[in-house]
Amino acid sequence: MNETLSIIEFNPELLVFLLIDITIAILLLSTMRYVMGLTGKVDTTDELAKKDNFAYGISVAGSVMAMGIVLTGAITGELAETYLSEIIGMAGYGLVGLCLIKAGRWVHDKFSLNQFNKHQLVLERNIAVALTDAASAIATAIIVRAVLIWVDGFDISTFVAILVGWLISQVILLLVTRIRERRFNRNHSMSFQQSLVQGNVAIAVRYSGHLIGTAIAVTAASHFVYYEPDMLIAGLGAWFAISLAMMVLLKVLSHLAKRIVLMGINRDQEIEDQHNVGVAAIEFAINLGLALVLSALMA
């Protein structure tokens, strides 16, 4: 405790840097709600407080959490040499993160879950669709955060790496969606996306676990590939290859773990047919738990 006080006492500039980062973080977190309202042409106060739209609240919460995750990537690392540089760096990375989160949601809507109008269903209080929306934003943010920590500096190469890292995240998340969708459609007359439209929360919880768990697992690539601006293409190619390998490894390990943890339970029947959110939540936890273990082991 005394050592901490001593550090603060003899490093007053550190307090200023911390104040800058916290202020920008709060502003950006607050901005996310209003950005969602403007882009969706929705009165957020009306939806959240007057209509008590829980689904919209979940969707906004996912965006706010995603923004917070991205900001941890912007904060991590060495402080800038000047206050102005810190403001520019923090605000710049934060705004880029905000744009990438919004862009990731657009990609998820247009390519991954493209058979329904997500925005309209969320306004109609569809909890299942809102959960998948929040999960996609969080998953994108987790990978963007890893790229922010991986890169070094604040130049064109840095932003190219961040953009390509975001593209990799969208490809990975699209693959996860198609795998889950194909598996579900093979065993049911109703499609995976139709099930979400009809409000199967259990399906949404399990799917969210796959998205977020995969995002955590693929961040392990940052531990194997060094950031070299002169070899950026090769580095990002290696990142993508390792991400695919981690996605497959997580799928295999989680499948084995679920068979053991949920032994004697027909998981597909419980989740897909009986809408058992409890079983889906256990699958969610297994996916995230194993992803965190893999990420820690690779570090």
If we measure between CA atoms, which residue out of 29, 31, 209, 36 comes closest to residue 122?
Answer: 36
For residue 269, the 8-state DSSP code is I
Contacts for 153 with CB less than 8 Å, ≥ 6 apart: 229
pLDDT in tens, 18-46: 888 888 888 888 888 888 888 888 888 88
Mean pLDDT (the chain, rounded): 87
Q: According to the model, what pLDDT value does residue 6 have? A: 52
Q: Identify the weakest region by mean pLDDT among 51-65, 182-196, 231-245, 258-272.
A: 231-245
Q: Give the domain ranges of the chain.
A: 7-298
| Nearest one of 95, 111, 238, 112 to 164, comparing CA atoms | 238
- The confidence band for 195, taking pLDDT boundaries of 50, 70 and 90, is very high
Asked if residue 132 lies in contact with residue 208, where contact means CB atoms within 8 angstroms, the answer is yes
Helix (H, G, I), strand (E, B) or coil at 167: helix
Give the per-residue pLDDT at 8: 47
Asked whether residue 296 carries a pLDDT value surpassing 50, the answer given is: yes
Highest mean pLDDT among 11-15, 115-119, 150-154, 226-230: 115-119
Q: What local confidence, expressed as pLDDT, does residue 62 receive?
A: 93
